[in-house]
């Protein structure tokens, strides 16, 4: 079966592609992407036979040297021409998913050269005219390579392959037609010019096509060489082969070189700022001034009502209260249940302050201004503007949109930009992601970017079957790493009360990793308790009660994530009025 990786920035179009593939079951395996984030990783995991790129992606990215056949499709006629210039086959202008997939199956390409030929054939025959003589000084100028050819163009003609006899005749005619060799030969040149003009219409069309092709090839070669030189210059400027982190002076020197590069007038201002932030981060990380990317912990279950949000909030709070040497870990809880997120109510955050919608709107404005999503970077200070903070635990929170209407406006690329920046630029040690019991893009992005996936189960067959269905789906994706999945049994009860024990549940074939044939790791169990519900209703995490059994159970889970045990100190509880009026 042919494997295709399709890249288009329009989520609606890629969703149509996936739906059509599911309904029609063609003899191709299609995976889709809406951005270039983790492109090399996806290629290495999926190993596609062909990469198909939309015009909206091709416009902003031209480095496709991945050892895989690249083909394109267009949104407009300009897209076909762009594809031709870059040397890629194009499936033409595509308006529907069905249209594209049919062309892929039938290998139907559209080549702009044919259109140009048809236009040339339909054009009127030019009148016979004698080309006027050139002044002697202009004759010499025309033959002077340094006058009208730059270095790359001259080298192109020097390296030009040998032409066949017909091409040679045409090229000779063109040169004679344009440039007489000396004053004495002008009469002879005039005779040759007359013969050239009196060629048949087909000969004239061939001449025009050859000339046009030469000019186009020169432009393409110049552009590729320029891109290659600038790319090499940029890689050198950011120090691809960097020296050791101890050479601080060397790092500052490389940073200055990178800054000089970014001053070039032909770079868009927004892209320049984004690249500068990336360079600063690389240098600062090598100098030891900033942290590595955060560890992402995604809490998920395919069944609702199992306690995902409660576990997410309690675990995030516990981690935020945990000491990391002299300081505490910096932790953020991110609510990726964008339709009906409940982290705000569970932890009693302010409904009138920042949430994900505000951040997504800023990303949308940048994209509308022409910046590509994969180039959008925020600083730690900029990210903090979109977060709320619990003063008691110092837990940061990225809250889901406050209304369902707001959640409908958030696009996939906005979620990807948010996740990437939160992880790489937020300065966090841990990010705990709460999710919905669905496979929306918001939930899947949280799963895809997770270092640890906590699957929440209860001693209920419906919950077990729903999660087994999800695990089976993830396994069929091939590229999804199932080794990241860990289990937590919530609301634990005796087997006498519910008819199935925890041991029977985790040892079931449904919860064995199909790659290793071993059961998924059990991080811990949490006993059924009304205290958890009471704490949720009060908007105060139960882990503040360090003596409770629940806090110890959360501590076991947190210790396995951190890699060491830690006992929380006694916390001062909030007063009644603080809880009632939502003071943080």
Q: Do domains 2-110 and 295-577 have the same CATH topology?
A: yes
- Interhelix angle 308-321/530-538, rounded to 10 degrees, is 70
Sign (positive/negative) of CA torsion 7, 11, 17, 19? positive
pLDDT of residue 225 exceeding 90, the answer is: no
Q: Please check whether the domain covering 295-577 is classified as CATH 3.20.20.30.
A: no
Alpha-carbon gap, residue 274 to 314, rounded angstroms: 35
The domain segmentation of the chain, as residue ranges, is 2-110, 136-222, 238-286, 295-577
> Pick from 205, 366, 350, 209: which is nearest to 274 by CA?
366
The pLDDT of residue 384: 94
Give the pLDDT of residue 1.
Answer: 82
User: What was the pLDDT predicted at 264?
Assistant: 41
Band of residue 16 on the pLDDT scale cut at 50, 70, 90: confident
pLDDT of residue 412: 92
Burial 476-501 (b: 16+ CB within 10 A, else e): eeeebeeebbbbbbbbbbeeeebeeb
Of 21-30, 173-182, 562-571, the poorest mean pLDDT is in 173-182
DSSP code string of 358-420: HHHHHHHHHHHTT--GGG----HHHHHTT-EEETTTTEEEEPPPSSHHHHTT--HHHHHHHHH
pLDDT at residue 560 tops 60: yes
Mean pLDDT check: name the lowest of 69-73, 193-197, 528-532, 559-563. Answer: 193-197
Confidence class for position 297, pLDDT limits 50, 70, 90: very high
201: part of which helix (H) or strand (E)? helix 201-237
Whether residue 213 has pLDDT greater than 90: no
With a cut of 50, say whether residue 197 has pLDDT above it. no
Better-predicted residue by pLDDT, 110 or 414: 414
Which strand (E) or helix (H) includes residue 17? helix 11-24
> What secondary structure letter does DSSP report for 560?
H
Answer yes or no: is pLDDT of 15 > 50.
yes
CA nearest to 389, candidates 319, 315, 330, 477: 330
**Residue 241 pLDDT greater than 50, yes or no:** no
Q: Are 51 and 69 in contact (CB under 8 A)?
A: yes
Could you tell me which of 357, 332, 335 has the C-alpha nearest to residue 344?
335
- Residue 203 confidence (pLDDT): 53
Q: Three-state DSSP class for 270? A: helix
Residue 512 or 174, more confident: 512
- What pLDDT score was predicted for residue 253? 43
Residue 239 scores a pLDDT above 70: no
Candidate from 16-20, 66-70, 160-164, 241-245 with smallest mean pLDDT:
241-245
Which of 166-175, 276-285, 337-346 is the least confident region? 166-175
- The pLDDT of residue 455: 96
What pLDDT score does 73 carry? 93
Low-confidence winner among 27-41, 283-297, 444-458 (lowest mean pLDDT): 283-297
Mean pLDDT value across residues 293-310: 93
- pLDDT score for 137: 46
Q: Classify residue 24 as exposed, middle or buried by CB count within 10 Å of its CB (0-12, 13-18, 19+).
A: exposed
**pLDDT level of residue 563 (50, 70, 90 thresholds):** confident
- Calculate what percentage of the chain has a pLDDT beyond 70: 65
Whole-angstrom Cα distance, residue 466 to residue 464?
Answer: 6
Q: Is residue 475 over pLDDT 80?
A: yes
* CATH numeric code, 2-110: 3.40.50.2300
pTM: 0.52
Average pLDDT over residues 554-579: 72
> What is the overall mean pLDDT for the chain?
76
pLDDT of residue 389: 95
Give the pLDDT of residue 105.
87
Residue 207 pLDDT:
56
Note the pLDDT tens digit of each residue in 420-443: 999 999 999 999 999 998 888 899
pLDDT at 561 over 80: yes
Q: What is the pLDDT of residue 223?
A: 55
Q: Which residues pair with 492 in a beta bridge?
A: 527
Strand partners, 457: 489
pLDDT at position 246 is: 38
Average pLDDT over residues 71-78: 90
Q: Tokens for 267? A: 């770079």
Residues 6+ apart with CB under 8 A from 541: 313, 314, 317, 318, 347, 393, 535
Answer for the pair 33, 6: CB distance below 8 angstroms, yes or no: yes
List the structure tokens of 145.
């390579």
DSSP 8-state code for residue 501:
-
Quote the pLDDT of residue 251: 44
């Amino acid at each position: 079966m042919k494997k295709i990786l399709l890249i288009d920035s329009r989520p609606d179009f890629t969703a149509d592609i996936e739906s059509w593939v599911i309904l029609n079951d063609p003899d191709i395996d299609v995976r889709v992407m809406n951005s270039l984030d983790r492109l090399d990783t996806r290629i290495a995991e999926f190993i596609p036979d062909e990469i198909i790129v939309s015009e909206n992606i091709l416009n902003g990215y031209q480095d496709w040297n991945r050892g895989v056949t690249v083909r394109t499709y267009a949104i407009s006629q300009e897209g076909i021409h762009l594809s031709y210039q870059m040397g890629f086959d194009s499936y033409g202008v595509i308006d529907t998913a069905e249209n594209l997939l049919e062309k892929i199956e039938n290998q139907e390409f559209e080549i702009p050269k044919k259109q140009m030929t048809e236009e040339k054939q339909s054009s009127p025959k030019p009148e016979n005219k004698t080309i006027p003589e050139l002044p002697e000084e202009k004759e010499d100028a025309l033959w002077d390579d340094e006058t009208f050819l730059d270095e790359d163009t001259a080298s192109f003609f020097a390296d030009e392959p040998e032409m066949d006899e017909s091409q040679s005749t045409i090229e000779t005619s063109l040169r004679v037609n344009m440039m007489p060799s000396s004053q004495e030969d002008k009469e002879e040149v005039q005779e040759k010019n007359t013969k050239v003009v009196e060629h048949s219409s087909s000969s004239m069309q061939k001449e025009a096509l050859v000339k046009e092709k030469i000019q186009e090839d020169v432009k393409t070669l110049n552009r590729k060489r320029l891109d290659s030189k600038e790319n090499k210059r940029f890689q050198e400027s950011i120090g691809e082969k960097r020296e050791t982190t101890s050479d601080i002076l060397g790092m500052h020197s490389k940073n200055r070189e990178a800054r000089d590069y970014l001053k070039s007038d032909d770079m868009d201002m927004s892209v320049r700022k984004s690249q500068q932030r990336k360079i600063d981060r690389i240098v600062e990380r090598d100098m030891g001034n900033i942290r590595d990317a955060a560890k992402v912990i995604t809490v998920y279950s395919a069944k609702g009502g199992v306690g995902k949000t409660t576990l997410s909030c309690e675990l995030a709070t516990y981690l935020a209260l945990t000491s990391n040497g002299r300081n505490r870990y910096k932790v953020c809880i991110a609510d990726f249940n964008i339709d009906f997120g409940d982290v705000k109510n569970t932890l009693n955050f302010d409904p009138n302050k920042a949430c994900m919608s505000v951040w997504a709107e800023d990303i949308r404005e940048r994209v509308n201004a022409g910046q590509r999503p994969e180039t959008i970077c925020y600083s730690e200070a900029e990210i903090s503007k979109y977060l709320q903070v619990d003063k008691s635990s110092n837990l940061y929170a990225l809250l889901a949109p406050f209304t369902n209407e707001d959640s409908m406006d958030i696009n996939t690329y906005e979620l990807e930009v948010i996740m990437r920046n939160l992880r790489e630029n937020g300065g966090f040690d841990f990010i705990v992601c709460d999710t919905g019991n669905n496979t929306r893009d918001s939930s899947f992005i949280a799963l895809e970017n997770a270092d640890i996936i906590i699957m929440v189960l209860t001693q209920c067959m419906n919950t077990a079957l729903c999660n087994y269905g999800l695990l089976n789906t993830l396994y069929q994706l091939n590229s999804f790493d199932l080794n990241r999945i860990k289990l937590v049994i919530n609301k634990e009860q005796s087997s006498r009360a519910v008819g199935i024990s925890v041991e029977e549940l985790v040892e079931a074939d449904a919860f064995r990793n199909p790659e290793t044939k071993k059961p998924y790791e059990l991080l811990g169990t949490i006993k059924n308790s009304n205290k958890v519900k009471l704490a949720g209703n009060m908007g105060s995490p139960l882990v503040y009660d360090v003596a409770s059994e629940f806090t110890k159970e959360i501590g076991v889970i947190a210790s396995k994530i951190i890699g060491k045990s830690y006992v929380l100190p006694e916390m001062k509880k909030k007063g009644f009025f603080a809880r009632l009026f939502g003071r943080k």
